[in-house]
Chain A
Amino acid sequence: MRKCYFDHVATNPLHPDVLEAMMPYFKEEFGNPLSVYEYGMNAKKAIEGAREKVAGLVNAKPAEIIFTSSGAEANNFALRGIALARQNEGRHVLVSRMEHHSILNSARFLEKSGFAVTYLPVDKKGFVDPDTVKKAITKETVLISVIHASSEVGTIEPIKEIVKVAKENNILVHTDAVATTGNIPVDVRDLGVDLLSMAAHQFYGPKGAGALFVKQGTRIVPLIYGGIQETGRRAGTENVPAIAGMGKAAELAQKELQARMDYLRPLRDRVIDTMANVKNVVLTGDRENRLPGHASFCVEYIEGEAMLLLLAAKGIFSASGSACSSKALKASPVLLSMGVPAGLAQGSIVFSLGRGNTPEDVDYLLGEFPAVIKRLRDISPFSEGWGDKEEGGECTVKK
């Protein structure tokens, strides 16, 4: 059976060149980067080389990159580290409702620790309005965190405009760029952000390596205490193979970025354009301003999980909402925050394409998916509402 992996926002397969770059650090180059002899120096060299490449990918200085174990750690570090470092200046933080759980749960931790948190609403396409940010700012606000692009609906947020508002008020800005780094151009100087999170496995690097960009001169309280790794800001003996792999993945992403985007966009557009013509299927997120390989939909009267299972039986691997929402069988908080009705949000499905997908994979998907919808529709107790979609219009749920 054909196998088509359309879940690149969950994780990416490792690039073969990345695996090759990692191998020596699993074997003969096993040293601790803090050791002063040859083994240690070689490991240290690998880390510093990777730091330069990751910095290069996002146009940062190498000293501004702190390696972490994941994007989630980078997000926790940013939110908690900055809030604590700046608490004497104010105790208010703004985060959007589109954020990943690593931001939302960190925000909840801050609330329990006595900080005030404002959760910024989004519009029906998933955009955070800079004017809304402006209105939510108080004299106490010290940090704004808005995701660069949601992996669930693919919408790319207007970070530059949000930064502009923040800078007028001397507020730091963090963006979770886990879904975007290595997939679209990410330039910390152009965006103007003070902090930016990334994860290697989202651009064909390994799991277990992430990084936080911290603009030079920004104070941040560590999340993990211990030794002097990462200039005393993130302790723990480094995951040298994973960091070396992240460096190689960053180098490849920088080199191939345009080609990867040019390859994925037409494939994505074909999925979107074809599915838009299927009755009762609604595109979620913005049509234009979205991740290059990202096509997400809600299908009326059908549960996302059911679609996932039937598609998986056909060798098509996709996702329904965020991984944790999917596991808990809850309607996605991201979709609910966009005003998608709870019933419709249950029918969420996300196809995220990557460099390994071929046009034939997309043909296969577009052949099988409508059939899966039809099969589920035929057994759906709600199918009487089916077929009410207006020609060329957006689908709405009957009240």
Chain B
Amino acid sequence: MKFVENVKPDVTTDIVYMMCPMHLLKLEEQMKELEQGQILEIMTDYDGALEDIPAWCDKTGNEFLGMEDSGDFFKFYIKKLTR
């Protein structure tokens, strides 16, 4: 897993305590709203996202920048590459 610090996101989505698979549904929904090159931050407590979000990025051709672990929840950073 790639860890990052001090990433400045363009949009933040807080889905802490929302059940699986909201991390994928919200990710898809939010990415549609972003411009190419913009960064999305997703906050979640769901550990399945550790595997799912990088895999989703691979599959859709977006860049997984990395994650930050705040202790209580995770922050994932995704850069939109596709149009």
**A interface residues (Cβ-Cβ under 8 A, vs B):** 81, 85, 88, 217, 219-222, 225-228, 231-233, 235
Contacts and interface: CB of A to CB of B under 8 A. Distances in A.
A228 B14 contact: no
A223 to B, nearest CB: 11
Interface of B: 14-22, 25, 72
Contact of B19 (A81, A85, A233): A233
Nearest to B20: A232
B14 A232 contact: no
Contacts, number: 30
Contacts of B14: 217, 219
30 contacts: A81-B17, A85-B16, A85-B17, A88-B72, A217-B14, A219-B14, A219-B16, A219-B17, A220-B17, A221-B17, A222-B17, A222-B19, A225-B19, A226-B19, A227-B19, A228-B19, A228-B21, A228-B22, A228-B25, A231-B18, A231-B22, A232-B15, A232-B18, A232-B19, A232-B20, A232-B22, A233-B17, A233-B18, A233-B19, A235-B19
Contacts of A233: 17-19
Chain B interface main SS type: loop
Contacts of A225: 19
Contacts of B22: 228, 231-232
Nearest to A217: B14
Given A220-B17, A232-B18, A232-B19, 9 more contacts: A88-B72, A219-B14, A219-B17, A221-B17, A222-B19, A228-B22, A228-B25, A231-B22, A233-B17
Contacts of A235: 19
Contacts of A217: 14
The 7 closest A-B pairs by CB, nearest first: A232-B22, A232-B18, A232-B19, A221-B17, A219-B16, A219-B17, A228-B22
A88 B72 CA distance: 9
A60 to B, nearest CB: 18
Contacts of B25: 228
A85 to B, nearest CB: 6
A158 B14 CA distance: 32
Contacts of B72: 88
Contacts of A227: 19
Most chain-B Cβ atoms within 10 A of its Cβ — which of A85, A217, A228?
A: A228
Contacts of B18: 231-233
